[in-house]
Structure 1
Amino acid sequence: MKRVQIYDRAMCCSTGVCGPQIDPVLPKFAADLDWLAKQGHQVDRFNLAQDAAEFAKNESVQALLSSDGIECLPLVIVDGQIVSRSEYPSRENLALWTATAMPSNTASPKAVSPNRMLPIASDSGDCCSDSGCC
């Protein structure tokens, strides 16, 4: 199994899913990390406000923070390799980077073909015209 480390910007709590302004991507990402941990991977998440020592321990993280500032966060590291920076990755990317199979029921839905075509209005501007749509 893989070790996945996430280095987040300073947030009010460990997941960022608190406070008056919640970034809508954070609850989904928290669920994706929970899913990844349930697949057997070691997932460690560090918040700059609460875990500054963890940022200082990692030379790669230190180097990026020195060169790019906090704009490089969040950082995602898998087995010591930086795989993502400046954005939260999708569950599909997390699965790819950890060689984890995605269940078929989580795949994106396929486009559904219509059973019948609905009539459209004519160019005359009369929505009812002779199509019987009214």
Structure 2
Amino acid sequence: MTNIQIFEPGLCCGTGICGVDVDQQLITFSADMDWVRTEGGNVSRFNLAQEPSAFAENDTARTFLHAAGEEGLPVVLVDGATVLTGRYPTRAELARWAELDSAPGAAATPPATAPTQPEGSPRLLPMATAADAEQGASACCGGTSCC
């Protein structure tokens, strides 16, 4: 089975889907990664702020971090080989690397979108999942209850 690893910059919680300014790119990537996992793909993500030992233990990630710095992240490895740097992969890319039979449908599936709100209304944040809680999302953003 193909092993996909994403080494990402330091985020306030395991998914980065917390805080005041939620990045739509992280919402989409989290949904795409969950989709690949439900289809049988093997995808792991490592957050520099929460899992620095994963960077230290992986020669490719460690070398990349020393050469490009945190601003060069994320770096995506497939079976240990660097396949993408500087941005998160698309659902179609993840499906292709995971060798999923459903890859053609992956490109047609629209990405998750953030809820729209009337101007001036309080910002809604996504709910934390059980996986987020396991990764310590309940203590993100300095221990505030933001997720």
Distance 1:30 1:23 in 2: 11
Equivalent pair of 2:6/2:75 in contact (CA under 8 Å):
yes
Counterpart of 2:103?
A: 102
**What's the CA shift for 1:108?**
6.6
How high is the sequence identity, in percent, across the aligned residues?
A: 42
Counterpart of 1:6?
A: 6
Greater RCO between the two (CA within 8 Å, min separation 6)?
2
Which aligned pairs between 1:1-134 and structure 2 lie closer than 5 A? 1-100=1-100, 101-102=102-103, 104=105, 107=108
**What's the CA shift for 1:98?**
2.0
CA spacing shift, 1:11–1:105, aligned 2, 3 Å = closer
- For 1:49, what is the secondary structure of its paired residue? coil
CA spacing shift, 1:66–1:6, aligned 2, 3 Å = same
Number of residue pairs matched? 109
Larger-Rg structure? 1
Deviations 1:19-39 (A, max 9, x none): 011111111100100011112
**What's the CA shift for 1:105?**
7.7
CA spacing shift, 1:102–1:11, aligned 2, 3 Å = same
Counterpart of 2:133?
A: none
Deviations 1:38-97 (A, max 9, x none): 121222111111000000001111111111111221111111111111101110111122
Counterpart of 1:113?
A: none
Larger helix share, 1 or 2: 2
Moved over 2 A (4+): 101-106
